[in-house]
Structure 1
Amino acid sequence: MSATSPTYDLLVIGDANPDVVVGPLSGPFAYGQREQLVSNGVLTLGGSAAIMACGAARLGLKVAFAGRIGADDTGRWVRGALAARGVDVSALTVDPDLPSPLTAVLTRGADQGGDRAILTAPGTLATTGGDDVPPALLADCRHVHAASYFLMPKLAAALPDLFRTARGHGATTSLDTNDDPAGSWDPAGIAAVLPVTDFLLPNAQEARALYGTDSLEAAAAGLAARGPLVVVKDGADGALAHDGRTLLRTPAIPVAPLDTVGAGDSFDAGLVAGVLSGLSTADALALAAACGALSTRAHGGTGAQPTWDEALAAASGTTAPDPGHNHGENK
């Protein structure tokens, strides 16, 4: 790392797109040109990487984003939405040929299990790759986070080298794979990236699938043995962290959720912000759980993301040093 301090606390690389979130749907989804009414609908910024970047900026970190959008109105909207939340978008590449991604999310109410269905048109995700990440940014940040590993195969293939380069400059790294639509979970690719990943951030279902076991604790321990600290989001059961030797748990923060879309990405933002501020693993885990829970207070992934002070207050009295920026005000 250079003698001067990095410009950015965090570089996020990955997906950015609008989310059209509608619901909750109380009964079965109907085809046959039937029109069904739901109580809420929102157009909001989506993409795991984009939501995480906004959450981190809200917590006070200086954040840059690298990814790819289309040369269309959708892409221009995404760029503006990220910038409005304090994220530097100067490295957001415009693809001249493919459209920007778009995701539709259909939610179900708590009486229906609180689940959601996600439909994504990939667009530029297919062409997002390592060349979209400027080397200068990898050398000028404290931490690099990547998301939606399975949606961007070109970026996934480049990720080990990108993470290795960032670590060579003194940065730490994290990965949230998210779901694999193909269901293959790319064992060879995951095996290549985990040794250069400092923090692996799956949810419980993803952790089990990545390791190939029904036991969450065994999955966390096994993945941690491959290199990273494994931090797992476990819904109503809170979250856990495993370093290959020790298992830590934190309870869920009680909230009455309106919408859980993006909660895991806000959790990721809290975990990274906590680590960069010097918190212990246990305290960073509690802060992350608070960020995930508080983000569910509004519809969409970014509308209720907490400030640093709000997250600390919700994390059961956790105290922490100043994260080095202006406590969650958008830049």
Structure 2
Amino acid sequence: MTTAPAEPLDVLVAGPVFFDVVFTGLPTAPRPGTEVWAQGMGTAPGGIANLAVPAARLGLRTGMAAGFGDDAYADWLWTVLAEQEGVDLSASRRYRHWHTSVTVSMASGRDRAMVTHGHPDPEPTGLLLAEAPAARAVVTELVPAGEAGGWWRPMAQAGTLVFADAAWDPSGAWDADLHERLDGCYAFTPNAAEALAYTRMADPAEAAQELAEHVPLVVVTLGGDGALAVEGGREVRVEPLDVDAIDATGAGDVFAAALVTGTLHGWPLEQRLRFATLCSGLAVQHFGGSLAAPGWGDIADWWDATVAAARTGEPAARATADRYEFLTDVLPGRALARVRRAEATIARLSDAQQGTTAPAAPTLRTR
């Protein structure tokens, strides 16, 4: 284990880590007895790293608790996460004679199939976090009824904000008694299908209002329809970003990391939702899950291009620039680091440097 952080983390995540191999642009799904060539391929840290990397790229002091093997895959994962992405691994552990779990994701059209090989972690997350580093926020998965969990509860009692994501229930039971399971959580972030299943309702907005009885903040992601949230009885809905999606792997995790970022910065709810939608929209234009996540440099580039298009009088760009005008205040002073994308190899570390900090951002304001 590495040395514990000298100051509290902004966010702590915990769970299994995977070595992901992503194939994109398959003309058809693979069939027995045939060979299919992919247009693109990338390797990236997966699993809980899909949350840790986006948070770190947005400038949060990010810690990750996970079990790592002793093979070459684990060497690469540890180095990329700790040295390249700046994720604190003091709560993680390496195990001898235990190999890294590997997932191969194959994208064809708008769908994908995955093949995974691995074994359960040698120790449960709770043991890794017996002396969890202090953090302002944690992101955790809502544990199905009857399973062990709740490592975050002592942290919640100490004031940590807990963001709970839903876990798909393959049994179809969808235990509706959420009060005990969400007790102590600050936010619950299911997708629309999960929200409807938990509440037995037919409308995502009604489901969000029902779930808001259990936590201060509910955010329901609506896929191609954007996202909606309920906080303090107030409902906010935002539209999606219009982008050409290549790979949606980890997009929900990028959304969650951006939501935590906006919350810790104290932004209004609508700005938090729009920022999370923007970050996930930028991520799906690349493949590789964690390494598709945008950094502040990507966000600054997008904002510059959007303002430039808006100044030509293009209506859609003008409407988008008006909705994201808050970036004019958010971007100045941010570190505009270049970030590495997934590559078709177990790549060397990125040679991308930290670069500069953002100057005054372009604006459409007339006041």
TM-score bracket for this pair, using the shorter chain length: 0.7 to 0.9
Q: 2:152 corresponds to which residue?
A: 163
Matched, 1:255 2:243: yes
Q: 1:59 corresponds to which residue?
A: 58
Query: Which whole-Å deviations, capped at 9, do the CAs of 1:65-107 have from their partners, x for residues lacking one?
Result: 1122223222222212211211011211224454322222121
Unpaired segments ≥5 residues, structure 2: 1-5, 307-322, 340-353, 355-367
Contact 1:59 1:327 in 2 (8 A): no
Unpaired segments ≥5 residues, structure 1: none
Query: Deviation of residue 7 (structure 1)?
Result: 2.3
1:5-154 map, 5 Å:
6-31=7-32, 33-47=33-47, 49-83=48-82, 84-96=84-96, 98-109=98-109, 114-125=110-121, 127-137=123-133, 140-147=134-141, 149=143
Q: What TM-score comes out, normalization by structure 2 length?
A: 0.75
- Sort the Cα spacing of 1:126 and 1:318 in 2 relative to 1 into closer, same or farther, 3 A: farther
Contact 1:98 1:124 in 2 (8 A): no
Match of 1:318 among 326, 330, 345: 326
Q: What TM-score comes out, normalization by structure 1 length?
A: 0.82
Query: Deviation of residue 127 (structure 1)?
Result: 4.1
Q: Which structure's residues are more often strand, by fraction?
A: 1
In 2, the alpha carbon distance for the partners of 1:191 and 1:96 equals 40
Q: Which has the higher contact order (CA 8 A, sep 6+)?
A: 1
Contact 2:251 2:280 in 1 (8 A): yes
- Sort the Cα spacing of 1:15 and 1:148 in 2 relative to 1 into closer, same or farther, 3 A: farther
Query: Deviation of residue 185 (structure 1)?
Result: 4.5
In 1, the alpha carbon distance for the partners of 2:170 and 2:286 equals 27
Contact 1:197 1:227 in 2 (8 A): yes
In 2, the alpha carbon distance for the partners of 1:217 and 1:169 equals 32
- Sort the Cα spacing of 1:323 and 1:82 in 2 relative to 1 into closer, same or farther, 3 A: farther
Q: CA RMSD in A?
A: 3.0
Aligned length: 313
Letter in 1 for 2:71: D
Contact 1:291 1:306 in 2 (8 A): yes
Q: Which structure's residues are more often helix, by fraction?
A: 1
In 1, the alpha carbon distance for the partners of 2:334 and 2:17 equals 25
Letter in 2 for 1:135: E
Q: 2:351 corresponds to which residue?
A: none
Q: 1:233 corresponds to which residue?
A: 221
